[in-house]
Structure 1
């Protein structure tokens, strides 16, 4: 494992946070990224049948056990052994990642936000827990730091869900809570037909407000003295929240297109994250 980011990683918002770390932490984060990417690809690849995907996830559950017993057999888990020991990354988030991704093999609908949060804890908050152990902290109570990782994970994943409504429909997946659609006077059937309406806008405004609450709640959990060490997380947070707000300003035009931020805009948001973390 080198200190360079994998090619896919270089194309992601993850990379902006990655480049701000010293070498040992870059290598650790790269190893975590490779693991998370692999687990995600198992359930998202159109070339892997569901039963084969389940079998591969079973292998990785057992492989995580072997990793923490000091006997990893796969190159990706072998690359994780050093970072886990150095940064004391717990076992649970690796298993949570598998649990969350496995839900995509069984559940493609979520009735309530509580159900959706269970999914987001698996696929996103688990990554946050791994990452904050690598970033480190000194002043925030451990319980509050774990809540920060959870809520930032919720915020990032809900931003992704809002951005990817149309793309997820192509995969037969609906992540917007169905209860929220009904409350807005919309329906799953209208969503599947990609019908834009004021009801759809109302449902999306609710998701936007919820995501904004996650971002704010997460930041309120951290002792300000730990912000500089969490700069990589805040760079990603500022970029994701900037994307969220851009989607809102564009009228939630997500049924047929996928919003993106320009590289210059991302750099501006990264600078704002630096200023925030250093008390400006």
Structure 2
């Protein structure tokens, strides 16, 4: 590798770190648990996901969002052909032994985010699950494949874990999502608990809201615990990043519950030192 190539690689890697895993973030501590040889590629994957999230969630015009996602579809084809143009794409190519083999899964991930441009509300949990599977489950499967003993089977157990991580994210980000016009709680569940979308957007707390969030938190927690238990025994040592993410998500759900689900006006988070300890311990748990 020439000096110029070395400099370029460092530049792309730094971009991915700043985009996906700045110091102190949950992603930062989760990625640090991965084998050193795979951290750069995993960081690039997390950066790609962040790019796609920003594309759909920070774009008010769906037409613009679709145009940007179409660009990313072309970019995944280009990187598979060895002609990347985006810093994240350059990093993916630089750190993946067979990027062409991963390209179909990357394109599927891009396609999954199109759902955010089609709808901002979900009628029931079955509809919401289709979204979490295409975004959360698909991403966790890609991440799991990087270090799995049997990459071809990773989706069987990583998919449910990715879905569960999304459910936990919906609890934490409820207030921020609502302020941006997105509510990832099923409409029929809002009705069941007597909470309106307007109350979420206007940050109105109530006993009904508390019970709604207790239900959402318990479901996310149960889903995480069930998904973790479903990781095969011979894969648990290979999945340090996903295990760290799940452990931090579980701890955060407990923190949110202790704070009486006050998530509409603030973003509750764990301290960096607590994230470090939780991630380190979870990554080494068999």
Please, what TM-score do these two structures have when normalized by structure 1?
A: 0.87
Instruction: Give structure 2 stretches of 5+ with no counterpart.
Output: 1-8
Residue 158 of structure 1 is matched in structure 2 by 167
Hey, what's the Cα distance between the residues in 2 that align with 1:31 and 1:193?
36
Return closer, same or farther for 1:268/1:23 CA change in 2, 3 Å cut-off: closer
Deviation at 1:62, TM superposition (A): 2.3
Q: How many angstroms apart in 2 are the aligned matches of 1:251 and 1:85? A: 47
Question: Is 2:208 the counterpart of 1:196?
Answer: no
Evaluate the alpha carbon distance shift between residue 74 and residue 254 of structure 1 in structure 2; reply closer, same or farther with a 3 A threshold: closer
**Contact 1:87 / 1:134 at 8 angstroms: preserved in 2?**
no
Q: Which structure 1 residue ranges, 5 or more long, are not aligned? A: none
| 8 A contact 1:89–1:133 mirrored in 2 | no
Q: Which residue, out of 18, 27, 37, partners 1:14?
A: 27
Contact 1:184-1:200 within 8 A present in 2 as well: yes
1:116 aligns with 2:125: no
Number of the residue aligned with 2:3: none
Q: Is the 8 A contact 2:147 2:238 kept in 1?
A: yes
- CA distance in 2: counterparts of 1:42 and 1:93, whole angstroms: 18
> How many angstroms apart in 1 are the aligned matches of 2:87 and 2:173?
31
CA-CA distance at 1:67 after TM superposition: 3.0
CA contact (8 A) 1:159 1:211 kept: yes
The CA distance in 1 between the partners of 2:181 and 2:175, in whole Å, is: 10
Distance 1:198 1:147, change over 3 A: farther
Alignment size in residue pairs: 273
Q: From the superposition, tell whether residues 257 and 89 of structure 1 become closer, same or farther in structure 2 (CA, over 3 Å).
A: farther
Alpha-carbon deviation of 1:49? 4.2
Q: Distance in 1 between matches of 2:115 and 2:93?
A: 27
Secondary structure of 1:16's counterpart equals helix
RMSD: 2.4
Deviation at 1:69, TM superposition (A): 4.2
- CA distance in 2 between counterparts of 1:265 and 1:231 reads 17
Is the aligned partner of 1:107 residue 2:116?
no
Which residue among 55, 61, 76 is the counterpart of 1:42?
55
Per mean C-alpha deviation after superposition, the further-off stretch among 76-85 and 86-95 is 86-95
Q: Secondary structure of 1:6's partner?
A: helix
CA 1:272/1:74 → structure 2, altered by over 3 Å: closer, same or farther?
A: closer
Partner of 1:174: 183
Mapped partners of 2:283, 2:61: distance in 1: 44
Output the CA distance in 2 between the equivalents of 1:102 and 1:127: 14
CA distance, structure 2, for counterparts of residue 185 and residue 251 of structure 1: 18
1:1-280 alignment runs, 5 A limit: 1-2=9-10, 6-8=17-19, 9-11=21-23, 12-45=25-58, 49-86=61-98, 90-138=102-150, 142-143=152-153, 145-277=154-286
Aligned counterparts of 2:227 and 2:156: Cα–Cα separation in 1: 7
